[in-house]
Structure 1
Amino acid sequence: MNIFEEPVSLKGFQLVKAFAARLIHLPDEQQLQQKSFDIWSAPLAETGASEAQMELVGDWFASHHQTGPSLGYIIHAAKELQLRGSLPPHRLAGQIERDAMAILLAAQQLGLSADDSAQAIMLAGTLAHLSLYRRKHPNVDRGYLRLEVEGIARMADYTADEILDEIAGGKGDLKALGVYLFNHSADAHQVDT
């Protein structure tokens, strides 16, 4: 599916409106821009969610996020709501966030401090990313790859405060990192499920 070529779905448009209406009280950068409604309509219609469910997703998003919504994340939340009947009292961790947690927990197991390993982990990620291009796409311009690595770092920074706030508060899917990142006791992480 190419979301830029999908026809506008009337049902989907109503779902987008229902979701976006719940963000209206947030700062402009956290709201869904009107120009995105058409692009989001068909993919949201494909979730099978109802307007009431999208309103719940909007309320949940507004309560647990400091960044603007992304289509993939909202689709994930809508599917989670349909599957479980509710959304958690925190953000939903995606696969990249869960992988980051696994890497940090492995660093902890190796005895590496979070402070000392931060740059090493960033370098490891860059090495892994660039090696992919060397193996599979050796003719890609190095300048483009530098921009891509910088973009990945910007995206990580974009959500980092939101994720760290949850971890520091002993909440969310990544709360187990509180011990490693904030020296929290393991008992402090029994707050929510």
Structure 2
Amino acid sequence: MRTVRALVRHEVRMLGSLVLWVARRSHGTGGGRAFGYARGQGAMTFGLAFVCLVETLTMSVLLRDVPVAHGIVLFLDVYTMVFVVALHAAHVVRPHVLEPGALRIRRAVHVDLRIPLERIASVRRESRTVHERAEGELDVAVGAQTSLLLELTEPVDHLTFLGRRREVRLVRFHADDADAVVRAVTRARSARSPLPGQPA
């Protein structure tokens, strides 16, 4: 039952992201600085949507004499096209956000991890295209790529897609402008840390 609820919630959020994208609005960025991670994916996404469109037209011709099958396949094909575009929309309207006191790392509607700034030990650029699953590590890859490495002073809880909790101490993620993320997070951490000899 929990899996069904997770899937329904996922679909609702995806379609909601599509609405936000059409309205040129973003999700959860109020009061913070947003960092995108979907640059370069648009062409591939719409290329895939075009392939789905061609398949839809082809199947419509092939199944024109079988109304029931035609209706079912048409529905599935149209929904697939909507899903593909909604996935791209979710990446665009749900960027990473540097909030007052926390860094929020996201990937579409699948990952939303808020990390308090005081738990960030270091942040640096690190480009990777191969990620092996390891205990205590979270890879938030986009197009199989990560460009930033975040090390934590203590674990934070990550809630998986199906609602399972994992403790993570190291997070790899991607941003279009990785250097800007490093600078912004470093400045935000410095602003929260008192100078030696000054009261906290």
TM-score category, normalised to shorter length: under 0.3
**Greater strand fraction, Structure 1 or Structure 2:** 2
**Greater helix fraction, Structure 1 or Structure 2:** 1
Higher RCO structure, 1 or 2 (CA under 8 Å, sep 6+): 2
Q: Which has the larger radius of gyration?
A: 2
TM (norm. structure 2) is 0.25
TM (norm. structure 1) is 0.26
